[in-house]
Amino acid sequence: MVSPIYIIAGGLGAAFLLGLLPAKWRTFAYGITLATLAFMSWVAGSWLYAFAVNGALPVEIFTAGTQPPFAINLRVGLAEAALALLMTLTGLHAALYMKDTLFKQGRQAMAILLIFIMALCGVVFTRDLFNLFVFMELVMISTGGLVLLSSDQRALGAGIKYLIVSQLISMLMLIGIVFAYHATGTLNIDGMAAAHINLFKGGSLAFFLIFMAVVAELKPFPANGWGLDIYESAHPAFSALFSVATGGATLYAVDKLLLIGGAQWLPMASAIGIVTFIAANLFALVQTNDRRLLGYSSVAQIGLIFTVMGQQDILGERYYFIAGGILLAHAVAKAGLFWLSGLVKQRQLTDWAALRSQPLLVFAFVTFIALLVGLPPFPGFYAKWDLAHLLAADGRLWLLGLILFGALLEAAYLFRWFGYIIKREGSEAGLALQPMKVDATLGAVVVAWLLAYLWGQLSGHGNLLHAIPLLFALLFLPLEWLPAKVKNIMAIAGLVGWFYLSYPSYDAFQLIFAAVMLPGGALILLASFQTQQRRVGFYPAAMLMFAGLSMLIVAKGSFDFFAAWETLTVGSYFLILRGKHSEPHALSYLVFSLGGAFLILAGFALAAQGVMDFQIAALAQVAKPFAPWVFALLAIGFMTKTASVGVHIWLPGAHAEAETDVSPMVSGILLKAGLFGLFVLLMTMGKQQLYGVELTHVMLWIGAISALVGNLLAIFQEDAKRLLAYSSVGQMGYALFGLALMNHLGWLMALMFVINHYIYKSMLFLSVGGVAKRTGTREMYRMGGLITLMPLSFIATLIGIIAVSGVPPLSGFGGRWIFYNAIMTADYRLPMVIIFLAGPIAFLYLFRLIHTVFLGQLKDEFRKIKEAPFWIILPQMIFVAALMVFALVPGVALRKVDVYLSQFFAGNGHLNWEGLTISSDFGYWNPVAIMVIIGVIFSTLFAWLLFVNRKAQPVKQFNIVFAAERPFRPETTHYAWNFFAPYRKALGFLTQPLVTRFWEAVTELLHSAAEVLRRIYTGNGQTYAIHLLAFVVVVYLLWMGGSDGI
């Protein structure tokens, strides 16, 4: 094994050696550079292997043959080796990436690069304070040099700003160092830590100065304008280095300093970190320049890690797992993104749409933003999980909340960016692809997945990359070249196969959900057969969603549950984004969903109280002061998914704009995930009271109002799919209401809703989707009279609306019957008023749907359209059959669950299934008899009418009695637009978009705050220096205030 000192000696020696070469020997010089970087990486890598795998002890390197503190010593342990490997590898990649630039600038540039990397390693290794200073100066000066490699002339300005600030930083640090030395008589970091610097007069002030100096290199808000300018203008490969390597090394330097400063500085670290994290993410929200955005994101991530460092007192042995996870995720992602930015010619975020011509690069982008946001299965996810749990266990909930808020902001702008890539105008001409650069980027992707695997292994929660459903979904990535039909067969086979395999392991309750999600998904996928070509991106996304769903159902531990939750959220986001105009809606879906997911995370974390391996079932044992809060957090999180009123505004756009076969998936299936979560929550935690308020009562109100608002809004929609989408809000409100009733039948009703809503909403979405496909519009008033042209779609819609409205004899009635029986035992009755009002309103929109689309006057332009494609009709017909079967024998699905639910409500409420009659404590119901009686009456009358009027001829379209006029234009005769005008007059005030306005105001507030606040970055280098000074002074005052003036 080669001593780690050779990383430094090698880098330095090679840099000097380059000076010996004739200026013309560029290739040779480049070879030496690469070889040296590779050598450095190899040394670092071999030590990392030794530490990580063989469990070697940290190596101490004593220079000058003298023991510290009398000579400088270096230490290399696991963290140091890992960081060194990270930095050298990034350096190596950067050298490869910058080949052109390095060749142009010659050996000098290569020497600077080598010294830069070497110095960073020095910063990490050294245990001597002044030596740290020297290495930091080296980093700073070489940064000054490398910034100039940019072809952007603005880099000059950025460089000089950086140097001005650096001057200030070095002064503070020097003064601090010498006073610290004076106080302790040593320059050795460990020696100082042992000497308890804070006990010496002046010592803590000296430490303060050093700390501020190094922290300033982390680019804390607001003293970071210079850093952003560098990110924006430097060569992307250097920006990557600046973010990854400098950031990592400086963080480690701060970590070492915290040893000296001791625990009293940890809160300050967290405070600075979190302020930076949130401020930078906020500012990034209004960026349009890609590299500046990445700069803000870098600043934010480093702020986050700094926050984590400030929490090391409670993180214990997980500290390196968490901080390392976030750091590595940040490193790989940021490097990758900066490298990608080098492939895009223009600098606006929207110009990245050019990437779309290269699916592989889009995949790379997705990988990187997933890494940054901390989505499963990447390291940030595991880190986020552990961090949240440890913070919550210690009651640091404010911090947890702020971290999650910042992460949400970050997700918002990153995924908005992704939306641009997928949806905006762009062509291959916007790309400047070079093999070296592409290879480097793809290399980062590989590393990202390797890290994902590694962190999964280390996590102690089980590796997500061992989960078969997830792997199955990922399998579709390499198979993207196959035609869509083949992939569709695979997907259906996968869903059905997995259901078949896991069937024995489901209990009755899980079975309902599994049946809806897996074979149910397969059924909807039948509609996907009608698509042509390869349909790139659809199958990985869809299968990711289904993988998440299938993992969710069987999740036992809270970790598995949450991982599945995020998986399905992300998968569905990609699915929704595929719609033609869905860019803003998909984003809003994602932001709300992630927001909800973060609440769930916080809820689990609070519940677990530090138990990493928390079982869902253990929610029942959560102790008193936390229980209601846990309940509230989880409930709101799940209700975000079911689009309860208040957090429903994402749903209409997302469901309406999705593709024809995606809408039923996200509506019919995905919404059930939220119900599943609520079920699990209520099953385990039951009723909870917060400040004397029964939380399930609050849920009752929310459910009722959702039902009302959803239905009301649905009747005023002109867009058929939006109508159905709002209808889902209402329907989910019913289900939520049923759950919140907290009795046997309420839950049974909610379960029945799971099945019913899946069937009829999928059917309606498919039917309407087919119509929209044929007519090319979703505006209902532009259709009309399609019944003769699209009879099968009409039948599906008719059956669908009868079922939705709950009119006997179809299965919707069963739901209503159970509902009435359920509310009989409810202990709280007021919200019923609202839910009773909501019921009939459903008729309005349902009638509108069928009337304005299929009945009334056929328009001229649609006279020749055909029935929807076979593959869209087929699942609808299967749904019709299923609906009939379920209407006749609901026991097939419900009997077992009914028994299953009995364990929660001992003794009362379950139904009796005697013969064909279903009876409750209050009433009874015989679906078969109803069907037969109505069928007989109906068919008798119909037959008679047909018989007596057997000679009737269909009349021409306009052969109607019309107040002495004979209409001749379908447009003027089809009463369809603003259909419920009187209703709007009477109750329109209830549909004021208050919630939408509220969220718009929030968004607006964030944006304008960012817009105003970011003006502090005036671009003036002196101002930046003043920021730094102000930062130091403010922290000083805070510190004095916090410590009552030492």
Partner 1 sequence: MIRRFAVFLLLLALGSIFVNLLMGYVPDSELNLTARYYAEHTAQDIGAANIVTAIVITYRGLDTLGEVTVLFLTATIIGMVLSQGQKHRALQRQLPPSGELLTTGSRLLVPLILLLGAYVFLNGHLTPGGGFQGGAIIASAALLLLLTDPLRRFSHRLISVVESVSGLVFVASGVLGILYAGGFLDSRILSTGTFGALFSAGVIPVIYSFVGLKVGAEFTSMLTNLAETEQS
Partner 2 sequence: MKIPWALLTLFIVINYGLLMTALVQKIGARVGRRHGIPIWQNYIDLLKNYGLRTSITHGVMFYLGPVFRLSGGVGLLLFVPSIYGSEMFSNFSFAGDLILALYFVFFGTLGMALGAAESGHPYAAIGITRGLSQMTAAELPFALAVFAVALQYQTLSVTDIVAAQQGSILNWTLFTNPFAVAAAMLSFLGSMMRPPFDVVLAPQEVPIGPPTEYHSSFLALMQTNRVLFPVAKIVIYMNLFFGGAANWPVFFLKVFLIYMVSAFVGVVFPRFRVEQSIRWFLIWAVPLGIIAVVRV
Partner 3 sequence: MDWIAMGTGFTLILMGLYGALTNRNILRIIVSFTVADTGVNLVLVAVGYMHGRTAPILDEAVSAAQAVTRIIDPVPQALVLTAIVIGLGVTALMLTYAYKLYEVKGILDISKCKDLKW
Query: Which residues contribute to the site for partner 3 (CB under 8 A)?
Result: 130, 134, 137, 140-141, 144-145, 148, 153-154, 156-161, 163-164, 166-168, 170-171, 174-175, 177-179, 181-182, 187, 225, 228-229, 232-233, 1014-1015, 1017-1022, 1025-1026, 1029
Question: Of 752, 753, 754, 783, which is closest to residue 767 (Cα–Cα)?
Answer: 783
Question: Of 85, 32, 31, 78, which is closest to residue 58 (Cα–Cα)?
Answer: 78
Which CB, 348 or 917, lies closer to partner 2? 917
**Partner residues linked to 914 by β-bridges:** 917
Give the orientation angle of helix 379-393 with respect to helix 558-577, to 10 degrees. 130
Out of partner 3, partner 1, partner 2, none, what residue 912 binds, judged by CB under 5 to 8 A for its kind, is none
Out of partner 1, partner 3, partner 2, none, what residue 427 binds, judged by CB under 5 to 8 A for its kind, is none
The enclosing H or E element of 913 equals strand 912-914
Report the nearest approach of partner 3 to the CB of residue 171 (Å): 5
Out of partner 3, partner 1, partner 2, none, what residue 1003 binds, judged by CB under 5 to 8 A for its kind, is none
| The CA-based dihedral angle spanning residues 1010, 1012, 1016, 1019, taken in that order and rounded to the nearest 10 degrees | 90
Within positions 893 to 952, which residues make up the interface with partner 2, using CB under 8 A?
917, 920, 922-926, 929-930, 933-934, 937-938, 941-942, 945-946, 948-949, 951-952
Out of partner 2, partner 3, partner 1, none, what residue 982 binds, judged by CB under 5 to 8 A for its kind, is partner 2
How far apart, in Å, are the Cα atoms of 588 and each of 5, 539, 712, 966, 1004?
51, 22, 22, 48, 14
Question: What x-and-dash track marks residues 789-818 binding partner 2 by CB under 8 A?
Answer: ---------x--xx--xxxx----x--xx-
Question: Of 42, 235, 258, 71, which is closest to residue 149 (Cα–Cα)?
Answer: 235
Tokens representing residue 391 in the block: 């913070």
Point out which span in 62-70, 378-386, 576-584, 624-632 binds partner 1 (CB under 8 A). Answer: 62-70
Which CB, 184 or 920, lies closer to partner 2? 920
Among 987, 1009, 1013, 1038, binds partner 2 (CB under 8 A): 987
Three-state secondary structure along 695-714? HHHHHHHHHHHHHHHHHHHH
Among 47, 135, 231, 265, binds partner 1 (CB under 8 A): 135
CA atoms in the 13 A half-sphere facing the CB of 420: 17
Could you please report the per-residue DSSP string of 256-322? HHHHHH-GGGHHHHHHHHHHHHHHHHHHHTT--BHHHHHHHHHHHHHHHHHHHHHTHHHHGGGHHHH
Report the nearest approach of partner 3 to the CB of residue 174 (Å): 5
The answer to the question of residue 23 lying near partner 2 (CB under 8 A) is no
Angle at 392 between CA 391 and CA 395, to 5 degrees: 90
Residue 533, exposed/middle/buried by CB under 10 A (0-12, 13-18, 19+)? Answer: exposed
Report the nearest approach of partner 3 to the CB of residue 133 (Å): 8
Report the nearest approach of partner 1 to the CB of residue 221 (Å): 17
The answer to the question of residue 1033 lying near partner 1 (CB under 8 A) is yes
Neighbouring residues of 179: CB distance < 8 A, sequence distance ≥ 6 = 202, 203, 205, 206, 209
Mapping DSSP to helix (H, G, I), strand (E, B) and coil, where does residue 335 land? Answer: helix
Q: How far apart are the first and last CA of the chain?
A: 48
Among 40, 79, 169, 187, binds partner 1 (CB under 8 A): 187
Out of partner 3, partner 1, partner 2, none, what residue 601 binds, judged by CB under 5 to 8 A for its kind, is none
Contact (CB, 8 A) for 735 and 642: yes
The answer to the question of residue 982 lying near partner 2 (CB under 8 A) is yes
Out of partner 1, partner 2, partner 3, none, what residue 167 binds, judged by CB under 5 to 8 A for its kind, is partner 3
Tokens representing residue 29 in the block: 């010089």
Among 847, 905, 913, 1036, binds partner 2 (CB under 8 A): 847
Among 62, 626, 828, 904, binds partner 1 (CB under 8 A): 62
Out of partner 1, partner 3, partner 2, none, what residue 20 binds, judged by CB under 5 to 8 A for its kind, is partner 1
Report the nearest approach of partner 3 to the CB of residue 134 (Å): 6
Which CB, 906 or 963, lies closer to partner 2? 963
Out of partner 3, partner 1, partner 2, none, what residue 1036 binds, judged by CB under 5 to 8 A for its kind, is partner 1
CA atoms in the 13 A half-sphere facing the CB of 915: 6
Report the nearest approach of partner 1 to the CB of residue 67 (Å): 9
The answer to the question of residue 122 lying near partner 1 (CB under 8 A) is yes
Point out which span in 126-134, 297-305, 336-344, 831-839 binds partner 1 (CB under 8 A). Answer: 126-134
The answer to the question of residue 163 lying near partner 1 (CB under 8 A) is no
Out of partner 3, partner 1, partner 2, none, what residue 913 binds, judged by CB under 5 to 8 A for its kind, is none
Neighbouring residues of 968: CB distance < 8 A, sequence distance ≥ 6 = 958
Question: What x-and-dash track marks residues 461-490 binding partner 1 by CB under 8 A?
Answer: ------------------------------
Neighbouring residues of 239: CB distance < 8 A, sequence distance ≥ 6 = 230, 231, 291, 294, 295, 338, 341
Which CB, 31 or 185, lies closer to partner 3? 185
Out of partner 3, partner 1, partner 2, none, what residue 171 binds, judged by CB under 5 to 8 A for its kind, is partner 3
The enclosing H or E element of 918 equals strand 917-919
The answer to the question of residue 788 lying near partner 2 (CB under 8 A) is yes
Question: Of 458, 315, 465, 333, which is closest to residue 386 (Cα–Cα)?
Answer: 315
C-alpha–C-alpha distance, residues 208 and 215, integer Å: 10
The answer to the question of residue 272 lying near partner 1 (CB under 8 A) is no
Q: Is 917 left (phi over 0), alpha (psi -120 to 50) or beta?
A: beta
Could you please report the per-residue DSSP string of 972-1026? HH---TTTTHHHHHHHGGGG--HHHHHHHHHHHHHHHHHHHHGGG--S-HHHHHH
Report the nearest approach of partner 1 to the CB of residue 739 (Å): 58
Residue found under tokens 């530090």 = 610
The answer to the question of residue 844 lying near partner 2 (CB under 8 A) is yes
Which CB, 31 or 923, lies closer to partner 2? 923
C-alpha–C-alpha distance, residues 686 and 510, integer Å: 19
How far apart, in Å, are the Cα atoms of 652 and each of 19, 713, 724?
65, 10, 8
Residue 866, exposed/middle/buried by CB under 10 A (0-12, 13-18, 19+)? Answer: exposed
The enclosing H or E element of 821 equals helix 811-824
Among 34, 61, 844, 1006, binds partner 1 (CB under 8 A): 61
Out of partner 3, partner 2, partner 1, none, what residue 843 binds, judged by CB under 5 to 8 A for its kind, is partner 2
C-alpha–C-alpha distance, residues 372 and 407, integer Å: 9
Which CB, 132 or 741, lies closer to partner 2? 741
Query: Contacts with partner 2: how many residues (CB under 8 A)?
Result: 78
The answer to the question of residue 824 lying near partner 2 (CB under 8 A) is yes
Written as one letter, the residue type at 662 is V
The answer to the question of residue 175 lying near partner 1 (CB under 8 A) is yes
Report the nearest approach of partner 1 to the CB of residue 138 (Å): 6
The answer to the question of residue 749 lying near partner 2 (CB under 8 A) is no
At 210, give phi and psi (nearest 5°). -60, -45
C-alpha–C-alpha distance, residues 250 and 217, integer Å: 7
Report the nearest approach of partner 1 to the CB of residue 39 (Å): 14
The answer to the question of residue 70 lying near partner 1 (CB under 8 A) is yes
Binding site for partner 1 (CB under 8 A): 3, 5-6, 9, 12-13, 15-20, 22, 61-66, 69-72, 105-106, 108-109, 111-112, 115, 119, 122, 126, 128, 130-131, 134-135, 137-138, 141-142, 144-145, 148, 175, 179, 181-182, 185-187, 201-203, 205-206, 208-209, 1022-1023, 1026, 1029-1030, 1032-1033, 1036-1037
